[in-house]
Structure formats: structure tokens, C-alpha cells
Amino acid sequence: MKQMTELQFDAVKEICATCMANAATAISKMVNQKINMSVPEMKIVPLNEVSSNICRCSELVAGIYCRLQGDFSGGFLLTLPRKTSMVLSDVLLNKKQGKTNMLGNMEKSALTEFGNIIIGTFVNYLAKSTDKYIYISVPSLAYDIVDAIIDNILIELAAETEYALVMKMYFNDVSDNICGQFFLIPDQNSLKLLLSAVDKKIGEFK
């Protein structure tokens, strides 16, 4: 991903913003409450630096992870800091804000479905843009310190790729500046597919 041109980078960021808007619409309908999500920051980092781009390594986060399979391989990871995961749990389960102070089975299930909607939106867009068959594994949620979550993913994906696309997400109309981070970790062949879709999008505006 380090070979991505400035035009490609801008196009990927626009794609991510569009996908996030679509996901926000789907989630808003689900909870019957307006939720906006924006992607003001995006960068490319080496895979072994992913944990340092989330938060302190000893901080608790909810991590929703799934594998990409089919013609596009790699992984998606959505991380939500403790505060964000609690606030979103209240919203998703229609509870009074501040009610959730720990993640039980219902809260984890709601957050997993939340991640599934966001990841599914990206996958659907990639599939349509590349005309390829892409599907995702059943998302899994872990609530643990950052290093514990990332280490398992590094073990699984380190042999397939070297870089991750990191997007910071802000959730508006929910609470004060709660945010999360979204990681797209494609293998080398999948990266080529992504850049091909990006180049197609760039060509549409020429």
C-alpha cells in the first residue's frame, strides 16, 4: 500500500467516506435515531504498528474482526475504545445514555452486529467495484487490551501482508466526540484489486 499515489489515496478516502455514510444510514434505520459517521483521518501503516495507532497498549477496547474470503483476502478490524463501546451499546439497545458500564452478552451481540453492518457495506462496495466474489467470515468480538487483540491478528495475517489502511471514525449525533478506528488489511493480490477499482473511479472523473 505504500506505493499508492496521491490520487489513489484521495479516491480510497472518498470511497471510505461513501461507505461510512451508507453504513450510518443503515444503522440509523435500525435504531430509529440519526447517526452520522465521518472518516476525517486515513493513513497507511506497517502491520506491526497497528496497535500503536489505536491507543495505549494496556487500554481496554472492543475489537470486531472478520476475515475476507473469496477473490479478496485479508481482514477487517473495527476497534472501539471502552467509552465508545459503552455509549454505542446504549444507543443500539435503546437504553438511557450512561446506563451501560460493562459489556454483557446483549451488548456484545449489538456491537458485533454494528461492526457487521459497517464491514458488510465495505465488502458490498468492493464486490460491485471489482466485479469479484467477496464474502466475510462471521464477525467475532473480543473485549480485551489492545495488544492481546492485535497479537492474534498479526499471527494470522503477518505472512500475507505488510500494511494496513487505518481510518479514524467519528460518531456524530450520539455523544461528545466518541470515535473508533477501522482497519482494512488486504493481502497483496487483494491490494491490486482495490487499486484497480480506485483507478476505475479516478478514470470516471477524467
**Domain limits, the chain:** 6-204
Distance of CA 31 to the CA centre of its chain: 20
Which residue stretches of the chain are H helix? 6-31, 82-92, 105-130, 146-157, 188-204
Q: How far are the Cα atoms of 3, 155, 161, 196 from residue 23, in angstroms, in the given order?
A: 29, 29, 27, 23
> 149-174 pLDDT, tens per residue?
888 777 777 777 778 888 888 877 66
Is the pLDDT assigned to residue 203 strictly greater than 90? no
Cβ pair 75, 66 in contact under 8 A: yes
The three-point CA angle 94-103-50 to 5° equals 110
Place 146 in a pLDDT band, splitting at 50, 70 and 90. Answer: confident
Rounded to an integer, the average pLDDT of 26-48 is 81
Place 108 in a pLDDT band, splitting at 50, 70 and 90. Answer: very high
pLDDT the model gives residue 102: 85
What cell does 29 get? 434505520
* Fold adopted by 6-204: Chemotaxis protein chec (3.40.1550)
Is the pLDDT assigned to residue 117 strictly greater than 60? yes
pLDDT the model gives residue 173: 67
pLDDT the model gives residue 177: 60
pLDDT the model gives residue 204: 66
Question: With the C-alpha atoms ordered 116, 118, 119, 123, is the resulting torsion angle positive or negative?
Answer: positive
- What's the burial of 155, exposed, middle or buried (CB within 10 Å: 0-12/13-18/19+)? exposed
